[in-house]
Amino acid sequence: MSTLHVVSHSPFTDSRLDSCLRLCGGQDAILLCGDAAYALQAGSAPFEALQAKALKVFVLVEDSQARGLPVPDWAKSVDYPAFVQLSIDHDKVNTWL
């Protein structure tokens, strides 16, 4: 059973991404949106944690572009229709409010 974890808060202001990473299983995926896109800042602790976990990582293209963040090769940019498709492709969706 797979879960799409949707994270929207900055990893530099709270621990939602850390909590999410502790719970993620091998079939799960993470979608970064809003300020959570800052987790893709190369060299940062959140960047290293995401890379080390070897999960499927997605980021909304609008959010990475708005913040001037390049998307690393281990993550994928998606638009809103692809976000909807990810929600369909996974058994559950967990939004980290």
What's 3-96's CATH class?
Answer: alpha beta
Domain positions in the chain are 3-96
What value does the mean pLDDT take over residues 12-19?
96
Q: Residue 90 corresponds to which tokens in the numbers above?
A: 């996974």
**pLDDT of 39-76, one tens digit each?**
999 999 999 999 999 899 999 999 999 999 999 999 99
- Cα→Cα distances 90→5, 11, 67, 71, 80, Å: 10, 24, 27, 22, 16
Per-residue pLDDT at 62: 97
Per-residue pLDDT at 8: 98
Per-residue pLDDT at 54: 87
Per-residue pLDDT at 20: 97
Question: Is the pTM of the predicted complex or chain greater than 0.85?
Answer: yes
**pLDDT of 72-97, one tens digit each?**
999 999 999 999 999 999 999 999 99
